[in-house]
Amino acid sequence: MCGRTACTLAPGEVSRASRYRDRRGRRRRPRWRDGDADKYQPSYNKSPQSMSPVLLSQRHFDENAPADKCVLAAMRWGLVPAWFRENDPSKMKFNTSNCRSESLLQKKSYKDPLLKGQRCVILADGFYEWRRQENDKQPFFIYFPQTQRPCAPEEAVPDLKAEDKETDEWTGWKLLTMAGLFDCWTPPGGGEPLYTYSVITVDASSNLQDIHHRMPAILEGEEEVRGWLNFGEVKSLDALKLLQSKNTLTFHPVSSIVNNSRNNSPQCLQPVDLQSKKEPKPTASSKKMMSWLKSSTPSKRKEPDACETKGEQESKPETRPKSAGPLQQWLQGANKKRRTK
């Protein structure tokens, strides 16, 4: 299952980190849907009913948009079906933060959005999961392996207009891309539509089974993300084939401070040493990541976002955790210690 995530990037950084290639091979940054960048708040500890960045096809909002054009939206975690008749979504008596891939076509709450093509990708730094122990639960942070990705020049694509050349490659944290379904609910008496989502889960991969028996359905690489989002060309039953357990994630144990969703600080993500408790050693991939954290130089954060106009930059306040992202914090701390030795 997936009951807690972290997404610490600012709105402009989320846009840069989720760049994609369109069918002509052009690199595109998805823009935020009007007003949604202000609804999303970065957090080290996101729980259900919070607002998260979600990637989806622009055609859900504009039927004339190109089939492969993506947009970012802020959606509430916990799907509220369009047919829900109460005037308050908190009155729902069942949990929809996760939905099992095996039963998507069996439950009306998920079957309707699936058959309508309402597929989305939930973006996060990673997610938390708890492993049951004798007297308590040990939390872990689970994420894509992080590698140093040098800022490579953009591949040459013919016939590009100047405004299409978005060449600043993202070299920061690689966001986790989780498959999901979304729906749009409107209060019975009228009011602003509420967009909500559910994270699809599958059986845990072999390297995560010791932590929990379920995991989010991970979409790995641009091709899988594009196939999941392109509901016009990839039919629902074919898209379901993308929902597979993947043995590609890494993890590290974190402090129990994350158990309380009100705690929102870099300490939620910071690795803890469990060797004294005779815990299994970290995976090779985790060791590689930690080695990189101790030796790398922080990448420069480009602000304001180059894809926004000057007017947008002046009118929209930047929203981010009070301190720099956890990756940059750890790197800065390690570099500072080396300089003082």
Cα distance between residue 232 and residue 40, in whole Å? 28
C-alpha dihedral, 40 to 296 to 253 to 174, nearest 10°: 40
Under a CB-based contact definition with an 8 Å cutoff, are residues 126 and 142 in contact?
Answer: yes
**Residue 157 maps to a domain:** no
**Residue 154 maps to a domain:** no
Question: Could you list the active site residues?
Answer: 2, 129
**Residue 156 maps to a domain:** no
Instruction: Give CA separation, 153 vs 14, 150, 307, in Å.
Output: 20, 9, 18
Kind of pairing between the strands at 43-46 and 5-7: antiparallel
pLDDT (tens digit, 0 to 9) for every residue of the chain, 341 residues total?
679 999 999 999 999 999 998 878 888 999 999 999 999 999 999 999 999 999 999 999 999 998 889 999 999 999 999 999 988 888 888 899 999 999 999 999 999 999 999 999 999 999 999 998 878 899 999 999 987 554 333 333 333 344 444 546 888 999 999 999 999 999 988 889 999 999 999 999 999 999 999 999 999 999 999 999 999 889 999 999 999 999 999 999 999 999 999 999 999 999 998 875 444 455 555 554 455 444 433 333 333 333 333 333 333 333 445 444 445 454 344 334 434 44
Under a CB-based contact definition with an 8 Å cutoff, are residues 138 and 255 in contact?
Answer: no
- Which amino acid would we find at residue 270? Q
**Inter-helix orientation angle 284-295/326-340, to 10°:** 60
Under a CB-based contact definition with an 8 Å cutoff, are residues 165 and 94 in contact?
Answer: no
**Residue 159 maps to a domain:** no
**Residue 72 maps to a domain:** yes
Domain carrying residue 70: 5-149+164-340
Tokens 């981010």 — which residue? 320
**Residue 99 maps to a domain:** yes
330: nearest Cα among 252, 251, 271, 249: 271
224: nearest Cα among 246, 203, 249, 208: 246
The CATH number given to whatever domain includes residue 278 is 3.90.1680.10
Number of domains making up the chain: 1
- Which amino acid would we find at residue 29? R
**Residue 158 maps to a domain:** no
Sequence-ordered list of residues with C-beta below 8 angstroms from that of 234, at least 6 positions apart, any chain: 227, 228
**Residue 187 maps to a domain:** yes
